[in-house]
Structure 1
Amino acid sequence: MQKKLKLWDAIMLVMGSMIGSGIFIVSSDMMRNLGSGFWLIVVWVITGIMTVSAAISYGELSALFPKAGGQYTYIKEIFGKKMGFLYGWGLFTIIQTGTIAAVAMAFGKFTAYLIPALNDAAPIFQSGEFKITWMQILAILIILLLTYINTRGVQSGKLLQNIFTGSKIIALLGLIAAGFIFVDISHLSENFSFGFDSFNNLKKDGLGNFLKEGWEPIGGMTLMGGIAAAMVGSLFSSVAWESVTFVSGEIENPKKNVVKSMIYGTSAVMILYIAVNYVYLNALDRDSIAFAENDRVAVAASHYIFGSIGTSIIALLVMVSTFGCNNGLILAGARVFQTMAKDGMFFKQAEKNNKNEVPANALWMQGVWASLLCLSGQYGNLLDMISFVIVLFYMITVFGVIYLRVKQPHLERSYKAWMYPITPIIYLILGAGFCILLLIYKQQYTWPGFVMVLLGLPVYYFINKNKNTE
């Protein structure tokens, strides 16, 4: 593969793939689960520590296996083809494609915020609960457009990524600055005081809806359940940084630059995320964050800071953010499926590069499946289910660093995980805590995604059975 991506391009890919729609929405649900600005920031800090710890650990593996395919390659090389296939299966069926669909739909929803006719238009087709709307069609068009641009070569995808990622970073910095300069009445100390005086939780009505007046003191393990539920949102907003490992084969000096891009990119994004949440806590009171319309807490904060024009500013920012995020996801994901095809673990056609030296067939396969997920309307529910699985695969990969150090201590490592073994152990402890709490308190976020991945087992055995009979 041609080495067309420099360190700066790799950093932009990390940051662009991470910053999508989540940071503008998830803090509302997180506040409902936590009831406190103090605990909201604590959860974002925990998520930041987890993310950067994982990136540091992945750095060692990226230096050992500087090939396209990234996390799939690491898992396959360390734990065998079966485990590698299960990761790749989950990536194609929902993790990567479901995220592409969800981000594209977020683009459509915020476009509809600026063009109300999109919201008001009658469905193109409806049969019972199933319907096809103009927002879904817009989301599909965005996926297909970005897929086409990326088939034109790495340079096209790289240019688009750098422009849109740079734009949204500048816009976020502007929002952070305005969130402290132009706010007349700060709610920061009020929002933080809840965390010091008592833990808080919401009562629900008979329909399961949260009540604004329902805050009541709680503590102990119930708080732990709230933290686990809140982390589903913060972790969803903080994944996809590993996408840069998928394109290792196209990065200059991958043994050094993939490591640097992951550590620099994840650290910068988590600092931005924490700062944006401080803006929400500064501009809005607790109820305004928890009960923001359609969870659009960024819209509520921007409206308070900039007035009526603030809603349009945020809508444009989210459109830029989601467009750039999807470009990064689409660019990177197809490289995994191409690598799987070379290993005989995916459709053979995905292996080929086109005349522009990019895996066009893999790009279109990914784009078509993501588009079908948009039409299904189920991608949002599926994404809730896979947070558990994503963290499990992160833990397996991070554990691989320790496993290789024990099993193959003499391997030449051009980069060693900083503060080993503390860094990978930090991630494993925090990740295990998150998974255990979800298993105790939020089972609906655990077993469906796990079952989805396990469905890949019969597919794996079918593929290998065919090989054995050839």
Structure 2
Amino acid sequence: MNNSSFKPALGLVDATMLVAGSMIGSGIFIVSADITRNVGSAGWLIMVWLITGFMTLTAALSYGELSAMFPRAGGQYVYLKEAYNPLVGFLYGWSFFAVIQTATIAAVGVAFAKFTAYLIPQFSEDIIVLSLGFLKISAAELLAIVVIILLTFINTRGIQSGKFIQTTFTVTKLLSLFGLIVFGLLALKPETWETNWQNAWQMQQLQPDGSTANYTLLAALGAVAAAMVGSIFSSDAWNNVTFIAGEIKNPRRNIGLSLFLGTLIVTVIYTITNVMYVAVLPMSEIASAEKDRVAVAASQIIFGNAGTIIIALMIMVSTFGCNNGLILAGARVYYTMAKDRLFFNKVGNLNKNAVPALALWVQCLVAAGWCLSGKYGDLLDMISFVVVGFYMLTILGIFILRIKQPDADRPYKAFGYPVLPIIYIVMAFIFCGLLIMYKPKFTWPGLIVTLLGIPIYYATVAKNKTKVLQ
């Protein structure tokens, strides 16, 4: 027996845990090394996280208006379709399916496996379990696929199963991060802290060997944009709660509120975590952390030899919970696209547990493919441009919809409108422009993936018209 509609089962706390849990994966434990190499000072390291946090909060507050206007499954895909046209909505949905969500699931899954290897060395990424010449499958990739399959299966059992894992694991990782911050600040090294803040606002390129290079003004802006690739990746997926609007109680109120609360919690934790890094590690050691694992280096100073195990456990909990949120929410976008006849028709069905099971398994298949490709990390760097571009278009859509649908019911209006949304659009435009200028490898691959959706869209529309005529 199939259900014809979703069951509202998530309250405000559940929705907030989905926002925070989908945001916190492995990034906060790792990306500060690359940020530090780009900006080279304590002040600018913290500033990059503050700028990212401001942009994320501003976007989340703006999405509150859209989520109240269109409180149904699909979220950002629906907003773009309503503000612009079905093609723009499809290009987002296509990019989301092809890379944004599925490659993120793969990357988070492999991060889980890599840190599991600290406890169980047999899951190391260096151990090849199958070699087919053109394809080598590591133990870490295999474990990542098993975890993705397990979480997909759990989520096919109903929203309550996914909700339990999400809330439990998110609360656990928030408490763990809070504990790490407290113990880290207690272990503050006065001499390290003072040295790190002596030239806190001198932006420079900091090499792992400790050598530095100065920037011109424009190159410095490019360095900030390059640094923000990591912080934006770590702060992304906050919008996942909008995809499951059909399963949230009182969505007109709770989606907007959960977006604000979730992004605020994570922004504060991310910023203070980086203050803690600066309190215990010299800037050169943050920049040169082995495999960029800054949290491991900090934890070894805080907890001694047990530090590595503590961080490994924290990242395992963090990435497991993060992937549950990504898997749960992502499938709802493909379900809504299928309802619009822009995806495989059967994906638009719900199973007896009132969840889009086939959408979950199709997503699982593509994510597993990205795990095997070994290219998920590169792709995630490359899609920051596309992700921010779509956020920018969506927030611009608020202005368009106020003109197109002036009398539409708006239970909640974008906070700080029009000033804050305009500030976000300008900042996002500058970020994307600087990436095009200084880091083209971060822009064109994601753009190509998005543009490939255009012929797919028109082929799908033509196929649908042919079916109607027949």
Q: TM bucket by the smaller chain?
A: over 0.9
Partner SS for 1:237:
helix
Query: Deviations 1:314-368 (Å, cap 9, x if unpaired)?
Result: 0000000000000000000001110100000111111111111111110111011
In structure 2, the residue matched to 1:84 is: 89
Q: Paired residues, what number? A: 462
Decide whether aligned partners of structure 1 residues 186 and 309 sit closer, same or farther in structure 2, where only a CA change above 3 A counts: farther
Aligned to 1:428: 425
Alignment check: 8 A CA contact 2:93 2:337 kept: yes
The alpha carbon displacement at 1:219 in A equals 4.0
Distance 2:50 2:347 in 1: 39
Question: Which residue, 459, 462, 465 being the options, matches 1:465?
Answer: 462
1:83 is displaced (CA, Å) by 0.6
Counterpart code for 1:148? F
Report how far residue 391 of structure 1 moved. 0.2
Distance 2:365 2:299 in 1: 35
Matched, 1:275 2:265: no
Within-5 A mapping of 1:179-258:
179-185=184-190, 187-196=192-201, 198-202=202-206, 210-258=207-255
- CA shift, 1:211, in A, is 4.9
Partner of 1:360: 357
Query: Structure 1 residues 195 and 184 mapped into 2: Cα distance closer, same or farther (>3 Å)?
Result: closer
Name the SS of the counterpart of 2:238 in structure 1.
coil
1:75 paired to 2:62: no
Q: Please tell me whether the aligned partners of residues 200 and 217 of structure 1 are also in contact (alpha carbons under 8 angstroms).
A: yes
Residue equivalent to 1:381: 378
Change (3 A) 1:53 1:299: same
1:447 aligns to 2:431 (yes or no): no
Matching residue's letter, 2:141: Q
Equivalent-residue separation in structure 1 for 2:108 and 2:73 (angstroms): 24
For structure 1, list consecutive stretches of 5 or more residues without a partner in the other structure: 203-209
The two structures have a TM-score, normalised by structure 1, of 0.96
**1:125-204 to 2 correspondence within 5 Å?**
125-128=130-133, 130-185=135-190, 187-196=192-201, 198-202=202-206
- Which stretch shows the higher mean deviation, 5-14 or 422-431? 422-431
2:345 counterpart letter in structure 1 = K
Counterpart of 1:132 in 2: which secondary structure? Answer: strand
Letter in 2 for 1:73: V
CA shift digits 1:165-201 (9 cap, x unpaired): 00000000001101111234452332232233x3211
| Aligned counterparts of 2:412 and 2:18: Cα–Cα separation in 1 | 21
Q: Does 1:23 align with 2:20?
A: no
Amino acid at match of 1:175: L
Are 2:99 and 1:118 aligned?
no
**Cα drift, residue 77 of structure 1:** 1.2
Q: Amino acid of the residue matched to residue 459 of structure 2?
A: F
8 Å CA contact 2:334–2:347 kept in 1: the answer is yes
Inter-CA distance 148–439: structure 2 relative to 1 (3 Å threshold): same
SS of residue paired to 1:194: coil
Deviation track 1:40-97 (CA, whole Å, cap 9, x = no partner) reads 1111110011000000110000000001000001111111111111100000011000
Identity of aligned residues (%): 53
- Once the two structures are TM-superposed, the CA of residue 469 in structure 1 deviates from its matched residue by 1.7
Moved over 6 A (4+): none
CA distance in 1, matches of 2:178, 2:270: 10
In 2, distance between residues paired with 1:343 and 1:159?
Answer: 30
What is the CA–CA distance in structure 2 between the aligned matches of 1:121 and 1:419, rounded to whole Å?
50
Task: Please give the secondary structure, in 1, of the residue aligned with 2:209.
Answer: strand
The 2-side partners of 1:312 and 1:89 are apart by: 39
Counterpart residue identity of residue 201, structure 1: Q
Task: Using structure 2 for the length normalisation, give the TM-score.
Answer: 0.96
Please say if residues 27 and 289 of structure 1, whose CA atoms lie closer than 8 Å, have aligned partners that are also in contact. yes
CA distance in 2, matches of 1:70, 1:186: 49
Task: Give distance in 2, aligned partners of 1:408 and 1:417.
Answer: 15
Give the aligned CA root-mean-square deviation in angstroms. Answer: 1.3
Matches within 5 A, 1:256-295: 256-295=253-292
